[in-house]
Amino acid sequence: MTSTDVQKMTWAEVRARRLRRHGLATPFTGSGPADVVAAMAGTHAQVMSAAELAIGLRLGHATRSDVRAALWDEHSLVKTYGPRGTVHLLPTRDLGMWIGALSAAASVPTTPSPHIRLTPDQAEEVVAAIGDALADDMLTIDELGDEVIGRTGPWAGDLVMPAFQGMWPRWRQVMHLAGMRGALCFGPNRGRKVTYTNPRRWLPEFRPADTEPALAWAVRSYLHAYGPSTPRRFANWLSLSVPRASEIFDARGDELRRVEVEGTPAWVADGDAEAPPEAHGGVRLLPYFDGYSYRVGVQCPEQLYPGRAAERVLPGAFQNLVVDGVVTGLWHQRRSGRRLDITVEPLVPLTAAQRAELDEQAERVAVILEGTPRVTIGTVTVGAHA
């Protein structure tokens, strides 16, 4: 392909593509929560209510109950440690591919202090103990700790990891590694306590895919959701080294197509270079971590967080106000009993039509959270009973 054959794209087209691929321009129809999560290449779930809202916003009529049913009743979703070792929801139908790819990125953590860290052999022993302990059970963190220490040795229980106002036992530094290896996933809460189990309890046929096919699948999934992109951004998304990510892209040469985004080289999957001409995403209230997912895969921060948003919104884990694919403010929520108060802070003037759409979006948030909305816009404060 010559340089004149390379498809040219603008950042506006990339934003429009992202909105469409993520179900933010128009909600998906005829789809379920697992389809949404697949389209997003995983959904952040460090705050579960935020994950429920992120998925609900991309479906026409879903509520948080639909997401919970997909996770705990149907098991079409699994909650585990995903890209970058952070908590994600992933489609169970793709779990084998995910674990195959994540295992290539999962490494034994190192700490500045030798007396804290696990050796590679100890880390493998703990991961195996976690998988065995959860094979036929669902355990809280304390119960799992007792099992791990009993299966390994007292060294695993040494309280050496600074955590909040206390110390965690040594073995906990590889919990994310166990998730990324397919030995652990989250179970439903037991009261207020988080539980963990082995995904094979719900998915007896689950097997991690071989690494190279899994990484090829991960590149395609990533580029469909976040492309056009580069090996460097793929490395950041999956937590690989840049040289390793470049090798993966090079090995997929016949399956990828080079494009240019306002002069910057990037790649899409071959046959998947759709570039919608305009971003008609309207006004969206993205929950915690959703804004991070929305930008982490490809978007240059200066393109997604222009002007004051770069100073006010980008540095923190805020809930983002997005207008036509660009972050233009932030929003907060506060619960008092059954009432949910939402305060929106736009950083640019909103038109009358955008203010009306903000009202509609707040109502949609309330429906997803299974509340009865009571919306007022004047001081850009939106209230809903949740």
**Residue 373: per-residue pLDDT:** 57
The whole-angstrom distance between residue 159's C-alpha and the CA centroid of its chain comes to 31
Tens-binned pLDDT, residue by residue, of the chain (386 aa): 344 588 999 988 988 898 999 999 999 998 999 999 999 999 999 999 999 999 999 998 899 999 999 999 999 999 999 999 999 999 999 999 999 999 998 777 777 688 888 999 999 999 999 999 999 999 999 999 999 999 999 999 999 998 888 899 999 999 999 999 999 999 999 999 999 999 999 999 999 999 999 999 999 999 999 999 999 999 989 999 999 999 999 999 899 999 999 999 999 999 998 888 776 678 999 998 886 566 665 456 777 888 888 888 776 678 899 998 888 888 888 777 777 788 888 988 889 999 889 988 988 998 898 776 555 544 444 445 44
- As given in the structure block, the two tokens for residue 88 are 């994600």
Asked if 42 and 89 count as a contact pair (C-beta separation under 8 A), the reply is yes
CA within 13 Å, CB half, 307: 8
**Residue 125: per-residue pLDDT:** 98
**Residue 374: per-residue pLDDT:** 57
**Residue 296: per-residue pLDDT:** 60
Asked if 276 and 16 count as a contact pair (C-beta separation under 8 A), the reply is yes
pTM of the model: 0.92
**Residue 378: per-residue pLDDT:** 44
**Residue 244: per-residue pLDDT:** 95
Look at residue 140 and give its three-state secondary structure: strand
